[in-house]
């Protein structure tokens, strides 16, 4: 799934109007198949049904929404996906949205009047999207990776064919010409990369190939692309695509975590110097609702899922960026949530 599509779905869910019917938000981890999620799902369904005892209308509406979920799980899951999110509501205003991903999701099932979108927001933030350049002297592949899935591939081939001319040139002449042609090919790759990453707003780049080639590309990158380069990895271009995605995705997630911790450090700096920042659920909620908040920083370890979901919904509705953070003692000291602000009010 492409990033623009998940962003569209998140906005739809965050702005979905509620009614009296219960809405199921069901997230499942598919890495171990049905046996991995079915025990959890059975236990949650039982608990929810107990909570609805005596509420005949709510029980009826929940059962109608649940039937849609179970029918989809029984018939429509594709084997290549690792996570699924299903949102379902019955009459009088039915709603059904199933989303499958190549990235894993945690097992979670909630019932409320509005969708729970936190896990979708976290998935988008952690996996996001990046570009991989797989380079040799003879060819190059440019991959666009969205949420752990390759959504676009571009092949480039070097028009220089050394095997056709090596036999009739001197070694020195051949090496000089080969070097010049490779430099030209590198410039062509970089030109395409520059256009792709600027028009599609990709903010991260990873190079793959032998160290000699990736080093030459790295040195030739213009400043705006150098800033987006996460790393160059000595992985054979002949590796299977799944292996390349796994390696680069792990590197990307490491970078995302580092950027998340950097955001916490900036939050801490602003709090210590009375800068444009607030901490705590109440203050963040107010800042977002007032349009002050530029970035919501929220801990994955924050235990209250309702608070997390409410804040990310508000952030989506008010077009405030969101950063999810794990393993930050500093952020948990602040109550697990903070906001970097566009400006401060006098009272703050």
What token pair was written down for 239?
């590796």
Beta partners for residue 111, in sequence order: 24
Q: Which CATH number fits domain 256-341: 3.40.50.720, 2.30.33.40, 3.30.1330.30, 1.10.3720.10?
A: 3.30.1330.30
φ and ψ at 230, to 5 degrees?
Answer: -80, -50
| Non-local CB neighbours of 214 within 8 Å, separated by 6+ positions | 135, 207, 208, 232, 233, 234
pLDDT score at 346: 61
> Do residues 305 and 3 lie in contact, with contact meaning Cβ atoms separated by under 8 Å?
no
> Do residues 102 and 127 lie in contact, with contact meaning Cβ atoms separated by under 8 Å?
no
Scan for tokens 């205003």, then name that residue: 93
Q: What is the pLDDT of residues 115-159, one digit of tens each?
A: 999 999 999 999 888 999 998 877 888 899 988 888 877 776 654
Task: Say how far apart CA 117 and CA 319 lie, in whole Å.
Answer: 15
Superfamily of domain 128-239: eRF1 domain 2 (3.30.420.60)
How many CB atoms lie under 10 A from the CB of residue 147?
Answer: 21
Beta partners for residue 99, in sequence order: 85
Scan for tokens 């050394």, then name that residue: 162
How many CB atoms lie under 10 A from the CB of residue 348?
Answer: 15
116-144 CB burial, b ≥16 within 10 A, e <16: bbbbbbbbbbbbbbbbbbbbbbeebbbbb
Given this chain, do its domains 128-239 and 256-341 carry the same CATH topology?
no
Closest CA relative to residue 15, chosen from 315, 287, 313, 294 = 313
pLDDT score at 173: 47
Q: DSSP letter string over 101-115?
A: ESS----EEEEESS-
DSSP 29: E
φ and ψ at 200, to 5 degrees?
Answer: -100, 0
> Do residues 3 and 124 lie in contact, with contact meaning Cβ atoms separated by under 8 Å?
yes
pLDDT in tens, the chain (348 residues): 777 889 999 999 999 998 889 999 999 999 999 999 999 999 999 999 999 988 889 999 999 999 999 999 998 787 888 999 999 999 888 999 999 998 999 999 999 999 999 999 999 999 888 999 998 877 888 899 988 888 877 776 654 444 444 444 445 544 554 567 778 888 888 888 888 887 767 889 999 988 888 999 999 999 999 999 999 998 888 888 889 998 999 999 999 999 999 999 999 999 999 999 999 999 999 999 999 999 999 999 998 888 999 999 999 999 999 999 999 999 999 999 999 999 886 655
The SS3 assignment for 310 reads helix
DSSP 301: T
Ranges of each domain in the chain: 17-114, 128-239, 256-341
The SS3 assignment for 146 reads strand
Q: What are the angstrom distances between the C-alpha of 257 and each of 136, 170, 251, 300?
A: 30, 52, 10, 12
> Do residues 4 and 72 lie in contact, with contact meaning Cβ atoms separated by under 8 Å?
no
**Degrees (nearest 5) of the Cα angle 182, 187, 189?**
95
């Amino acid at each position: 799934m492409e990033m623009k599509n998940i962003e569209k779905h998140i906005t739809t869910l965050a702005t979905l109007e509620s009614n009296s019917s219960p809405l199921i938000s069901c997230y499942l981890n598919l890495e171990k198949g049905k046996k991995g999620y079915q025990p959890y799902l059975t236990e949650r369904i039982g608990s929810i049904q107990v909570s609805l005892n005596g509420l005949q209308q709510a029980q009826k509406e929940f059962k109608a929404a649940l039937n849609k979920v179970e029918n989809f799980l029984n018939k429509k899951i594709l084997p290549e996906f690792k996570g699924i999110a299903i949102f379902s509501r019955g009459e009088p205003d039915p709603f059904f949205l199933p989303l499958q991903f190549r990235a894993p999701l945690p097992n979670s099932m909630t019932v409320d009047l509005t969708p729970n979108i936190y896990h979708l927001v976290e998935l988008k933030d952690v996996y996001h999207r990046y570009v991989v350049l797989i380079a040799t002297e003879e060819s190059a592949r440019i991959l666009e990776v969205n949420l752990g899935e390759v959504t676009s591939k571009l092949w480039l081939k070097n028009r220089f064919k050394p095997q056709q001319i090596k036999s009739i040139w001197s070694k020195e002449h051949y090496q000089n010409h080969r070097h010049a042609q490779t430099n030209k090919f590198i410039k062509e790759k970089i030109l395409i990369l520059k256009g792709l990453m600027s028009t599609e707003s990709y903010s991260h780049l990873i190079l793959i190939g032998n160290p000699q080639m990736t080093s030459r590309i790295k040195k030739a990158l213009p400043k705006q692309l150098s800033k987006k380069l996460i790393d160059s990895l000595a992985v054979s271009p002949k590796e299977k695509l799944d292996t390349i995605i796994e390696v680069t995705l792990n590197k990307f997630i490491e970078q995302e975590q580092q950027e998340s911790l950097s955001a916490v450090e900036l939050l801490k700096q602003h709090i210590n110097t009375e800068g444009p920042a607030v901490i705590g659920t109440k203050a963040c909620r107010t800042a977002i609702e007032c349009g002050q908040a530029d970035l919501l920083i929220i801990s994955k370890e924050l235990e209250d899922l309702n608070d997390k979901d409410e804040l990310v919904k508000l952030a989506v509705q008010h077009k405030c960026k969101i950063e999810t953070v794990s393993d930050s003692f500093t952020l948990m000291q602040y109550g697990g949530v903070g906001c970097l602000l566009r400006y401060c009010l006098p009272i703050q």
